[in-house]
Amino acid sequence: MKNIGLLGLGTVGSGIIEILEIRKEEIKNLTGHDIRIKKVLVRDLNKKRDIILEPDLLTTNYDEILSDEEIDIIVEVTGDLEMSYKYISDALTRRKHVVTANKAVVSKYFEKLLSLAADNNVAFLYEASVGGGIPVLKPLKEALFLNEITEVQGILNGTCNYILTRMIDEGRNYEDVLRNAQELGYAEVDPTADIEGHDTLRKLRILATLAFQGQIREEDILLNGISTITSYDIDYIKNMNSTVKLIGEAKIVEDGFTAVVQPTIIKNSNYFANVNMAYNSVAFKGNNVGELKFYGAGAGKLPTANAVLSDVLDIIMGTYRKGNPLGQRVLKNLNSKIRGKYYLRVSDCNAEIIRTLKRIAEITMSVGSITTIITEEVQLTGLGRLIDDLNIGNDRYFFARILNY
112 is a site residue for a second copy (CB under 8 A): no
- Choose, by CB under 8 A, the member of 41, 114, 222, 305 that binds a second copy: 305
Q: What are the DSSP E strand ranges found in 347-402?
A: 361-367, 370-375, 378-379, 397-402
At 284, is the secondary structure helix, strand, or coil?
strand
Contact segment (CB under 8 A) with a second copy among 5-13, 178-186, 314-322, 329-337 equals 314-322
- Choose, by CB under 8 A, the member of 288, 351, 355, 368 that binds a second copy: 288
306 is a site residue for a second copy (CB under 8 A): yes
Nearest distance, CB of residue 381 and a second copy, angstroms:
31
365 is a site residue for a second copy (CB under 8 A): no
**Spatial distance between the Cα atoms of 292 and 294, rounded to a whole number of angstroms:** 7
Decide whether 151 or 220 has the Cβ nearer to a second copy: 151
CB 164 within 8 A of CB 245: yes
**Spatial distance between the Cα atoms of 149 and 252, rounded to a whole number of angstroms:** 8
Decide whether 55 or 323 has the Cβ nearer to a second copy: 323
**Spatial distance between the Cα atoms of 188 and 194, rounded to a whole number of angstroms:** 8
**Spatial distance between the Cα atoms of 36 and 21, rounded to a whole number of angstroms:** 9
Count of CB atoms situated within 10 Å of the CB of 98: 27
- Choose, by CB under 8 A, the member of 50, 54, 290, 352 that binds a second copy: 290
CB 229 within 8 A of CB 244: yes
273 is a site residue for a second copy (CB under 8 A): yes
* 381 sits in which H/E element: helix 380-389
Which class for 22: exposed (0-12), middle (13-18), buried (19 or more C-beta within 10 A)? Answer: exposed
- Choose, by CB under 8 A, the member of 268, 366, 369, 404 that binds a second copy: 268
Nearest distance, CB of residue 328 and a second copy, angstroms:
11
144 is a site residue for a second copy (CB under 8 A): yes
DSSP 214: B
One-letter amino acid at 190 equals D
403 is a site residue for a second copy (CB under 8 A): no
Residues 3-62 that bind a second copy (CB under 8 A): 19, 23, 26-27, 30-31
Is residue 96 annotated as a catalytic residue, yes or no?
Answer: no
Name the catalytic one among 2, 203, 245, 251.
203
142 is a site residue for a second copy (CB under 8 A): yes
Do the bridges between strand 290-297 and strand 332-333 make them parallel or antiparallel, or are there none, so unpaired?
unpaired
As a whole number of angstroms, the longest Cα–Cα distance in the chain is 73
Residues 119-138 that bind a second copy (CB under 8 A): 133-135, 138
Catalytic residues: 203
- List of residues contacting a second copy (CB under 8 A): 19, 23, 26-27, 30-31, 133-135, 138-139, 142-147, 268-271, 273-275, 283, 286-297, 300, 302-303, 305-307, 309-310, 313, 317-323
